[in-house]
Chain A
Amino acid sequence: MHTQNDVNIGRGWGRSFRVKFFLVAAGSVVLALVLSGVFAVYNFTRLGHDASAKIQQGLMNASHEYLSNYIRTVAERTRMTLEQAFSEVQMLADVMQTLTDNPDDASVLGSSLAEMSMFSSPLAGTVRSNETLWVQNTAPARSVVTIWQPLLNDNGTVKPDVQQAIEESAVLDLLLPTMKENGASKLYMYMVGPHQKSFLRLAPYCDMASEFDKNYPGSTSADFWDYFFPGIVACWKANAEVMSSEQLRRIITTTPPYLDAAGGGTIVSLFHPIWQAETNGVPGFAGAAAMDFSLEDIVDLVRDVKLAQSGFAFITQSKGDVLAINDHGEQIMGLNTQTSALGVNVQMREFSQSSQPNVQRLQMPTDDKIHSERLMLINDAGEEEPYILTMLRLPSVQLWECNENDEGTTTVRIRDEHWALGFVVPESEIYESLSAAQSEIRDTLRGILQSFVVVGIVSLFAAVLSALLLSKRMTQGLIALANAAHRLQDKDYSVRVSVQSKDEVGQLATAFNGMADEIQTYTTDLENIVHQRTSELELANEEVQLLNKRLKADNLRLGAELDVARQLQMMVLPKQSELDSADPELDLSGFMHPADEVGGDYYDVLKQHGLVKIGMGDVTGHGLESGVLMLMVQSIARSLLSMNAYDPIRFLILLNEVLYQNIQRIDTDKSLTLCFLDFQDGILTLSGQHEELIAGRRDGRIERYDTIDLGLPIGLVPDISPFVATEQIPFAPQDVVLLFTDGITEAENEEGEQFGIERLCDSLKTKLAGTAAQIQEGIVNDVKQFIGDHAILDDLTLLVIKRIR
């Protein structure tokens, strides 16, 4: 039942169908939007991630390739620059070597040239404190010839062998200025004589001696080699001892880079020693061709290397002394420049002295492959920043090295030196395009998200609007129905719903209207209907009452009939005491079990003057008439016996005659089978037509006596005299005879099988030794056991007669 409360709740916000529909529709849209948004963002992010990875890999490869190619190119250019300088020195050395190898020709050439104005310029000594410090030719000249104090006589004149050597070298004036002006970028092209003749011929012309005196005080009074390049000649000589003459002609020794004293920038002096004919198996040192090679070209080359925005290049010696790097690079790498004042001013700018720990640990390449690694450098903000370092070793040179250890001992040697070229590029700049791409992806993603939000809001709005409209349309009918139902509940049966739609709601409305019609009709006509039904019921009741009365009457009548019939039967049957006292020679036992109704079975034992007459009969049918007929038979039999009708045949004929007349009077169509057994003087006389008689002898034999020819059914015809006969049956002591009705033999079990005469005989046979009562009970038990649960269809009647003496 709905209470008013329920209705209110049902109409509430939380339970409204419309709200539910609306929530479901809107929720679906939101869910779909969120899901597709998440999906799109996920996919896009993944796509971006993949793209970034690919771009990064591509950039890595591209930058690596780019840096590799670039560094090879720069290395090649550096090598070519150096190569040119080397070949120029070699050229000069070859000329000098030729002069040295041909001393006579050189001597003639020198003498001849001395007379030519082009090759000679006046020598002038520079005197300080009455001491000639050096002698130098005066300008203008193609080259400056500087003769240090040790090469002078005490009077300030040039020693003769020195003078000759100078003259012999005058031919170089043809070469030196030209070589200076052309080819590799160089400060000076010059030659130096050997010890004792270590004058200097140098182009272009300048006041070399004064420069030296100013920048290297004391140098003018020392041997050139000993002062500027100590040990170098000894090293050459040591090498010369183990080298072939051909190898010796290819030796160019490089000094470490140093600052030019005359302000010419960083330079490297290249020396090619000249050898003269051997003395004592050892080649003699005959001076050197030299060039002060300006590293500016190479430095510019390296400084000009542009790598991304802030990438830079450097050239370093094998020990990590950086030859060339731009200021930015120097700062990034944390380098500082020191100057060693031993001999020439060697510039020291070593990685090992760097303020960057990772730079300190840098290893120079030891093969000719390109080496690339990630270098973490600390920036100004103190943070580590990744750089890509690419390095390539340059071809070797012979380096003169002069080191001073802590004990003040100087070690000099010449060894193979490889310079290395390095590129340093910030990783961020290499990946700048990647960052740009990633940032673009992020921007795009943000854009997509924004459009998603916009689209989502618009979709949501549209969905909400359509859900509202649709739900309104949908629920209109339902609401109308619900309201109508409530009105119906409030007993307003005239309510009808107007719904136009053809859908389920429309069908529901039609059904509802039909229902309301019916309810209204029923409600209105209920009184009439009840009245009509009541009348019908009353009529039916009357009929039932009438029938009941009749039934009661019938039942009473039938019940009364049955009672009377039963009483008659009880009255007619002999009592056990009568049976017991019938004859001392006989033991009798009778049994009768009526079927559902009282039957027409009959048995009796009559006694008259020593005759015992035993009767057994079966009236056709059941009921009162049968009972009455039985009573008549009994009465007639007793009457006849009273009138001494001893002859059994006569007895039966009279009995039939009387009974036939009575049957005619009561107008029934019943008859009966009836037989009598007379016992007199130890003889049994059987008469009348009935079932068979069974005799059990004391020796166990069973005999059957047919009664068909001993009579005719009683009451059927007025005179049965032609058919009546008797049969004598011996009856010795211990013999037993059975009389029974067909109820016994025709008793059926559940299978419809009849008990039959054979079973009856067999049953008797096993019980002959017992008393009449025992035999009777035994047989009845056998019959009942045979019947089992099956209904007893007819009266069962059995009479056992045993002769006991």
Chain B
Amino acid sequence: MLEIATSDYRVSYEKERETIAFEGTFRLSGSLYAPISEMLTNILAEKPSSLRLDLTELKFLNSSGINVLAKFTILVRNSGNVAMSVVGSQKIPWQEKSLPNLKKLYPALELSIV
């Protein structure tokens, strides 16, 4: 299990379930997202058949963070044969507004906001 975690946030990858979970509050400045981007890129490099982004416990993600997710979505899209799904939460206002962008970038992506 891969994991990057601080007291404020946590990103983890559960290989068996091919699920990447984002939890907590991300308020990092741009360059500090690099380790997370790298982790995501590495996960994709292992060529999983599918990937699931679990954002139900993601309270806040600033614009740089959203950018990271958008870039990753484009990366997955470009890799061609990885089925991607994103799960968000209705309880977190920004998600309903920003997550549809991901589907715009990768129309095959399954977006569900529960």
Contact = CB atoms under 8 A, between A and B. Distances in A.
Interface of A: 597, 618-623, 625-626, 669-671, 673, 689, 706, 708, 712-713, 716-717, 722-723, 742, 746, 757, 793-794
A706 B100 CA distance: 13
B97 A618 contact: no
Interface residues of B, number: 21
Nearest to B68: A669
Interface stretch (B15-23, B27-35, B79-87): B27-35
A440 to B, nearest CB: 102
A557 to B, nearest CB: 14
Contacts of A625: 30
A716 B71 contact: yes
Given A620-B63, A712-B104, A706 B97 contact: yes
3 nearest interchain CB pairs?
A621-B30, A620-B67, A620-B64
B63 A622 contact: no
Contacts of A669: 30, 37, 67-68, 71
Given A689-B101, A713-B101, A793-B27, A670 B60 contact: no
Contacts of A597: 29
A712 B66 CA distance: 12
Given A623-B29, A670-B30, A706-B97, A716 B70 contact: yes
Given A620-B30, A621-B30, A708-B97, A723 B67 contact: no
B29 A717 contact: no
A378 B27 CA distance: 130
A712 B74 CA distance: 13
Contacts of A712: 101, 104-105
Given A671-B67, A706-B97, A723-B104, A716 B74 contact: yes
A717 B37 CA distance: 17
A5 B62 CA distance: 79
Contacts of B62: 620, 742, 746, 794
Nearest to A621: B30
B63 A618 contact: yes
B103 to A, nearest CB: 11
Interface in B58-113: 60, 62-64, 66-68, 70-71, 74, 93, 97, 100-101, 104-105
B60 A621 contact: no
A717 B105 contact: yes
Nearest to A723: B104
A793 B64 CA distance: 13
Given A716-B74, A746-B60, A622 B29 contact: yes
A673 B27 CA distance: 17
Contact of B100 (A671, A708, A716, A757): A708
Contacts of A793: 27
A620 B61 CA distance: 11
Contact of A717 (B66, B67, B74, B97): B74
B74 A620 contact: no
Nearest to A691: B97
Given A620-B66, A669-B37, 10 more contacts: A597-B29, A620-B63, A621-B29, A669-B30, A670-B67, A708-B100, A713-B101, A716-B70, A717-B105, A746-B60
Contact of A713 (B30, B37, B60, B67): B67
Nearest to B59: A752
25 contacts: A597-B29, A620-B63, A620-B64, A621-B30, A621-B31, A621-B63, A621-B67, A622-B30, A623-B29, A626-B30, A669-B67, A669-B71, A673-B63, A708-B100, A712-B101, A712-B104, A712-B105, A713-B66, A716-B71, A716-B74, A717-B74, A717-B105, A722-B104, A793-B27, A794-B62
B64 A716 contact: no
Nearest to B73: A716
Interface in B1-40: 27, 29-31, 37
Given A620-B30, A712-B101, A717-B105, A671 B70 contact: yes
A620 B30 CA distance: 7
B100 to A, nearest CB: 6
B64 A621 contact: yes
Contacts of A621: 29-31, 63-64, 67
A786 B100 CA distance: 30
Nearest to B97: A708
A713 B64 CA distance: 12
A597 B10 CA distance: 25
Contacts of B105: 712, 716-717
Q: Which of A669, A671, A712 has the most CB of B within 10 A?
A: A669
Contacts of B97: 706, 708
Q: Which of B60, B64, B97 has the most CB of A within 10 A?
A: B64
Contacts of B27: 793
Contacts of A620: 30, 62-64, 66-67
Q: Which of A670, A713, A717 has the most CB of B within 10 A?
A: A713
Contact of B70 (A713, A722, A723, A794): A713
Nearest to A692: B97
Given A689-B101, A708-B97, A794-B62, A716 B30 contact: no
Contacts of B100: 708
A624 to B, nearest CB: 11
Contacts of A689: 101
B67 A716 contact: yes
B113 to A, nearest CB: 13
A706 to B, nearest CB: 7
B76 to A, nearest CB: 13
